[in-house]
Amino acid sequence: MPKKIFPSQQHVALVYNNDKPQARHEWTRLQRWLEQRKVHVTNSSKVTTAMKNADFVVAVGGDGTVLSVVRHVAAWGLPVLGVNVGRLGFLAATEVNAMFKMLTKALAGECRVEVRTMLSVSGTIRGKKFGHHLALNDCVVRSGSSGRVLQLRAMVRDKPLASYAGDGLIISTPTGSTAYNLAASGPIVYPDLDVLLLCPICPHSLVQRPLVMPTFEIIEVEVLKPSPPALLCVDGHVSETLHPGDRVFVQRAEQQAKLLMDPDRTYYQVLQSKLKWGGS
C-alpha cells in the first residue's frame, strides 16, 4: 500500500547534476523557493553526510542523477524526489514546470512513498573478491570494446540455469525493467512486484528469452572461455573488468530505495506518458 511521509518537513537536501546547466538553474530556483518558506536547505552537486538528517532529498537532473542519489542515501532510509531535466525521467516525480506544486505536496506530507527493490552485486576477479555494489536499476555483464561474442553461464542454487552466447546479460529490478532491459526486449514489470529479471542481450539463439525470477534467488554469472574481457556495469557505470573464470553474484540488497511520487499519477500513466502510448 502507498505510504506517506510525515507532514511537517523542515529540512530538505538538494542535489543537482552539475553537468547540466538547466539543473544548476533549477536548483537555484528551488533553493530560493524553499528558503522563502523557512525550510532548512542543505545543497550540493553530490550527496554529503550533512544531508543524512534531512527529511527527504530533491534530485535535480535526469534518471542518472536519481540513481546516484538513491544509491548514496538508501542506507539512511531517505526518500528521494526527482525533478526531471533529462530526457525520459522514469524515476522523477515531476517535470520542471510542475516542481513547485510537487514540492508543496511533499512538504505537506501528501506524496506517495514507493519502496523499491535494489540489487547487491559482488563477485570474484582472478580469485579476489569485490563488492558489494548497490544498484536500483540493473547489473549488466556485457562485451567490451572488442565487440566479440561473450560466453556466459548463469547458475542458481549452485546448479546451471543457462549458457548464453551473445552480447551479454542484464539482471534488473522491476524499476530497471524500463531501462536497458526494455531496450533488449525484456518485459515491463510493475515496480512493486518482488521479482528479478534476467534478460540476454542479442543472444545467438532463438530460444533464449527473458526470465522473471523470485528475489530470494541468488544469481551467479560466470564468464566462460574463450570470451574476451567483459565489463560489469552497475546502474550504467562500469565497475569491474571481467575475464574468463571470473564470477558475479547478484541478489536482492538489504537496502531499499524510497522514491517520492505524485499521489495523483499512477504507474500506468507514467508509462503512457514516457513511452508515448497515446490515450486520453
Can you give the pTM of this predicted structure?
Answer: 0.92
- Quote the DSSP letter at residue 136: S
Q: Looking at residue 3, what is its pLDDT?
A: 46
pLDDT at 95 over 50: yes
88, pLDDT greater than 60: yes
Contacts of 265 (CB under 8 A, 6+ apart): none
Residue 167 designated active-site: no
Give the pLDDT confidence of 110-137 residue by residue, as tens digits.
999 999 999 999 999 999 999 899 999 9
Look at phi and psi of residue 152 and say left if phi exceeds 0, alpha if psi is from -120 to 50, else beta.
beta
Catalytic residue among 55, 63, 246, 262, which? 63
Residue ranges of domains in the chain: 3-111+262-274, 118-254
Q: What is the pLDDT of residue 8?
A: 52
- Could you tell me the pLDDT band of residue 279, with boundaries at 50, 70 and 90? low
Q: Is the domain covering 118-254 a CATH 2.60.200.30 domain?
A: yes
Q: Which CATH superfamily is domain 3-111+262-274 in?
A: Probable inorganic polyphosphate/atp-NAD kinase; domain 1 (3.40.50.10330)
Task: Return the pLDDT at 4.
Answer: 47
pLDDT beyond 90 at 145: no
Average pLDDT, the chain: 93
185: left (phi over 0), alpha (psi -120 to 50) or beta: left
pLDDT tens digits, 237-271? 988 999 999 999 999 999 999 999 999 999 999 99
